[in-house]
Amino acid sequence: MSGSLETVALAGNPNAGKTTIFNALTGSNQQVGNYAGVTVERKSGEFFTPHGKKLRLVDLPGCYSLDGGSPDQQIARKVLLGELEGEERPDLVVSVVDGSALERHLQLTLEVIETGLPVVVALNMVDVAESTGIRIDVQKLSEELGVPVVPMQANAGKGLLDLKQAMRHPFPVPAKADWTPEERQKRVLRICETAARRRDSYSATLTDRVDAVLLHPIFGWGFFLAIMFCLFWTIFAIADIPIGWIEGGTEVVAEWVSAKMPEGDLRSLIVDGVVNGIGGGVLVFLPQIVMLFFLIGLLESSGYMARAAYLMDGIMAKFRLSGRSFLPVLSSFACAIPGVMATRTIDSPKERLATIFVAPWMSCSARIPVYLTLVPLLFTDMTSVQKTLIFIGIYLTGLITALIVARLLRGRMGEDKVPNHFLLELPPYRAPQWGYIFRHVLGRAGAFLKNAGTIILAICIILWALSTYPKTDSEDPAEVLAHSAMGRISHVVEPLVKPLGFDGRTGTAILTSFAAREVFVTSMTQLFHVEESEDEDETLTNLQNTLSAATWPNGDKMFTLPALLALLVFYIYALQCLPTSAVVAREAGSWKWAAGQFLFMSGFAWVAAFIVFQVTKLFL
Amino acid sequence: MALATAQDLESDSLLSLSQAKVGCDFQIKLLKGPACDQLRKLGFCESLQVRKLADGRNLICSVCGTRLALSRELASQVMVAVA
């Protein structure tokens, strides 16, 4: 993997500036991957020293200590000791420490020195240290630690060249660790006493003053709700514009391909299966995902996300989760995949599993087209306020059920072997790091396209094949469909979905959505033989008209209010996303967990839809 | 035994960070409880200065210029004296 390149590992506490240094050193020349068999993301890249020597840089997960039990700490320790399969032991470690919090960050540096590897200390945020009145004697610090120390201000690019110089050949000799693990803390305090004098008096910083408002027991909640409202409003209001462009672009491409190719199965496959699959089933969700992650990145980078987790801890605790579960839950409103991946920061393994289990119940952006199709059918002539209220109700139904199930699940799981207490670092408020945010958004969008996109595209092609073959001589589209594999499947499915108020065609559309919900609208359009228009909105209106006119063989209306409500409830609860199941299996470390989640959520959705249909039928 | 008695006496005269008053500066004197190691790794070490910034279910304090939010249960294991 690393070839003959020598490897430099970046180690440090969270918020020490490791990622900034990593990005500054490697630029765009980096790769993101996962350590095989474990759950922590790995970043590696390459860079040149001033002497033209190419080195490989590995960014280790941020951790406070090497001897802890969390996945992050285990990975860092295993890499530094050369015990991780597929990763060579580094030749040099750059220990990144925050100059303004040396007493806390040097502990890890001493642990790194104890591994016997050559170490260079990147003394970051010296500007912050100076502004808070800390006087650091770099020379003395270097002598005390026995390793080179490079003062830096990584976010302004200061000290990078010096750091590269310190990594030149030959690497520094490993420092002698003449202390025992028990003496480590005293050693740190002694080093700080001689090399870094802190001003005794405490003066309130800007962050303290801002926190006094944003974390206020009453006003803090007002700001929190306002920020969350703006976040969701922006996503829904602004994302519509690029979604329109993508839909327009898809139409142009589909028309262009149709004009260039002779009529036949191949053209149908490319236009209906591939182009519409990519454009209408995958790319159309990208704007909302990109926007949500941009805004989450903005909140994280500015330091607010940790405050949101602090505020939410009290509410989450009522459901036996902690504030740390808030970010995964929020991310899941865009897409459950990054939401499940964001649970890595949760210390408690049981809380992590419970959060992974309920994260897919947040209404992700893939459900929106389903809701947009069904909600207008529920009540005709709805005002925008009514529509908004129904949407809020849908979102809250998913969220509240998820929290209740999380509570029940945590109750059954019992307590953790090692008690996990709420402990969170609240970083100072900073101007957003745009480079970091854009990389974060690009990474998330890329992961969505790669993970979800490939599966959705495959489903679209399979759907096309199922509704096209086997062929019949008949010219009547309804007969063609009835003769096709899809038409036959719908007969098999019907008994299962009839108690919920649906016929075999809707049942087939639900069945196809089990791979990815995005294909529901496409399936319904094909199964109900709706005339597809060049304009997506017109197609949706055609579908809605067809559905409201659809009847059972005895002439009864098919999409009655109870049936529509049952269908909505089914889509709120069912886990219809194969990429999510794959990610859950990886993150939970077991396919059994993913299969259990899939079966539970599908069963729950069926029972909930059954109850809704049967009960509302009595009253409506 | 003598050392243990001296330590007990000392801890009796201290107050825990969860009992401490908001806005005051303290010096960490002793960590007492099952989460000691976890606290030390996060910077709650004997002799360091700490300022309590907010109280509640989870309290906020500043240690070595870093703001940390921690549960009352953890805070009750940090014994401090007025600086």
From B40, B47, B70, residue closest to A422, measured CB to CB: B70
**pLDDT-based confidence at A200, cuts 50/70/90?**
low
Given a cut of 50, is residue A164 above it in pLDDT? yes
Rounded (10°) angle between helices A304-318 and A219-260:
100
Question: Which chain A positions have a beta carbon within 8 Å of B48's beta carbon?
Answer: 103, 189
Distance CA B79, CA B12 (A): 9
pLDDT single digits (tens) A273-288: 788 777 776 787 788 8
* Contact list, B62 vs chain A (CB under 8 Å): 202, 208
Our CA-based measurement puts residue A225 at a distance from the nearest CA of chain B, in whole angstroms, of: 20
Residue A354: phi, psi to the nearest 5? -65, -40
* Option in B41, B45, B58 nearest A189 (CB): B45
- Is the pLDDT at A371 greater than 90? The verdict is no
pLDDT score, position A203: 67
Nearest-by-CA chain B residue for A311: B58
Give the single-character DSSP code of A452. I
Residues whose CB falls within 8 Å of the CB of residue A262, separated by 6 or more in sequence, listed in order = none
Tell me, what's the pLDDT at A1?
42
Q: How far apart are CA A558 and CA A575, in angstroms?
A: 25
Confidence check: pLDDT of A144 > 80: yes
Interface probe, candidates A202, A215, A221, chain B, greatest B C-beta count within 10 A: A202
Whole-angstrom distance, CA of residue A552 vs CA of residue A103: 74
B57, A313: Cβ pair inside 8 Å?
Answer: yes
Residues of B in contact with A348 (CB under 8 A): none
- How far apart are the C-alpha atoms of A133 and A100, rounded to whole Å? 9
Residue of B nearest to A205 (CA): B65
Give the pair of three-digit tokens for residue A577.
Answer: 């996303």
Q: Which chain A residue has the Cα nearest residue B66?
A: A101
Residue A95 has pLDDT above 80, yes or no: yes
Give the mean model confidence (pLDDT) for residues B64-73.
86
Q: Which residues of A touch B34 (CB under 8 A)?
A: 419
> Is residue A475 pLDDT above 70, yes or no?
yes
Q: What is the pLDDT of residue A296?
A: 85
Give the pLDDT mean for A226-237.
Answer: 84
Query: In the structure, what pLDDT confidence band is assigned to residue A534 with cuts at 50, 70 and 90?
Result: low
C-alpha distances (whole Å) from B58 to each of A216, A320, A591, B40 are 13, 15, 36, 18
* Mean pLDDT on A522-531: 78
Which of A348-357, A419-428, A442-451, B4-13 is least confident? B4-13
* Cross-chain residue pair B58–A422, CB shorter than 8 Å: yes
- Which residues in A lie closer than 8 A to residue B68 (C-beta atoms)? 423-426
CB A562 within 8 A of CB A616: yes
Given an 8 Å threshold on Cβ–Cβ distance, is B53 in contact with A132? no
Q: Tell me, rounded to whole angstroms, the distance of Cα A611 from its chain centroid.
A: 32
Q: How many beta-carbon pairs below 8 A join chains A and B?
A: 100
A6 three-class SS: strand
Residues 38-57 of B with CB under 8 A from A: 38, 40-43, 45-49, 51, 53-54, 56-57
Gap from B43 CA to chain A (nearest CA, Å): 5
Does the structure show a pLDDT above 80 at B3? no
Contacts of B35 in chain A (CB under 8 A): 419, 421
A300 in Cβ contact with A310 (< 8 Å): no
Is residue A470 reached through a cis peptide bond, with omega within 30 degrees of 0 on the bond before it?
yes
Q: What percent of chain A has pLDDT over 90?
A: 26
* Tens digits of residue pLDDT in A22-33: 888 887 555 544
Residues 6+ away with beta carbon under 8 Å from A353? A413, A588, A593
What is residue A36's predicted lDDT score, i.e. its pLDDT?
Answer: 32
A472: region left, alpha or beta (phi > 0 left; psi from -120 to 50 alpha): beta
Output A449 or A510, whichever has higher pLDDT.
A510
Window 2-41 of B: residues touching A by CB (8 A cutoff) are: 25, 34-35, 38, 40-41
Nearest residue of chain A to residue B76 (CA atoms)? A421
Q: Give residue A79's identity as a one-letter amino acid code.
A: V
**pLDDT digits 0-9 by tens, B39-60:** 887 778 888 888 898 888 899 9
Q: How many helices and strands in chain B, by DSSP H and E?
A: 3, 6
Q: Do A419 and B25 touch (CB under 8 A)?
A: no
pLDDT band, residue B78 (cuts 50/70/90): very high
- Whether A198 sits inside 8 A of B73 (CB atoms) is no
pLDDT band of residue B4 (cuts 50, 70, 90) is: low
Of A199, A205, A186, A204, the closest CA to residue A135 belongs to A199
d(CA A92, CA A95): 10
Residue A608: the pLDDT is 96
Residue-averaged pLDDT of chain A: 84
Shortest alpha-carbon distance between residue B61 and chain A (Å): 10
Mean pLDDT of A416-444: 81
Nearest to A185 among B45, B51, B54 (CB): B45
Q: Tell me: pLDDT of A579 over 90.
A: no
Taking an 8 Å cut-off on Cβ atoms, the answer to whether B68 and A100 are in contact is no
| CA A542 to chain centroid | 35
Contacting residues of B for A98, CB less than 8 Å apart: 66
Phi-psi domain of A574 (left: phi exceeds 0; alpha: psi -120 through 50; beta: other): beta
- Would you call A426 and B48 a contact, using CB atoms and an 8 Å cutoff? no
Please name the residues in contact with A295: beta carbons below 8 A apart, sequence gap of 6 or more.
Answer: A231, A234, A235
In this prediction, residue A519 carries a pLDDT of 76
- Please list, in sequence order, all residues whose beta carbon lies within 8 angstroms of the beta carbon of residue A430, skipping any fewer than 6 positions away: A301, A302, A303
Q: What is the per-residue pLDDT across A303-354, written as a single tens digit (0 to 9) for each?
A: 898 999 999 998 999 999 988 899 899 888 878 887 888 887 787 888 999 9
What A340-348 contacts at long range (C-beta under 8 Å, 24+ apart), as own/partner pairs, is A340/A580, A340/A583, A340/A584, A340/A587, A341/A41, A341/A583, A341/A587, A343/A587, A344/A39, A344/A40, A344/A41, A344/A71, A344/A72, A344/A587, A346/A322, A347/A70, A347/A420, A348/A322, A348/A416, A348/A420
Angle at A461 between CA A460 and CA A462, to 5 degrees: 90
pLDDT band at A408 (very low <50, low <70, confident <90, very high): very high
Using the predicted structure, report yes or no on whether residue A435 has a pLDDT greater than 60. yes
Contact A64 B62 (CB under 8 A): no
Mean pLDDT, residues A29-57 taken together: 67
Residue A2 confidence (pLDDT) above 50: no
Task: Outline where DSSP puts E strands in B1-74.
Answer: 15-16, 25-31, 49-54, 58-63, 66-71
Tell me how close the Cα of A425 comes to any Cα of chain B, in angstroms.
4
3-state SS, residue A178:
coil
Q: What is the mean pLDDT of residues A570-596?
A: 88
At A69, is the pLDDT very low, low, confident or very high (cuts 50, 70, 90)?
low
Angle at A489 between CA A487 and CA A490, to 5 degrees: 65
**How many C-beta atoms surround the C-beta of residue A241 within 10 A?**
9
Contact A516, A576 (CB under 8 A): yes
What's the distance, Cα to Cα, between the start and end of chain B in Å?
29
pLDDT of A578 strictly over 70:
yes
pLDDT band at A40 (very low <50, low <70, confident <90, very high): very low
Q: What percent of chain B has pLDDT over 70?
A: 86
**Residue A138 C-beta-side C-alpha neighbours within 13 Å:** 15
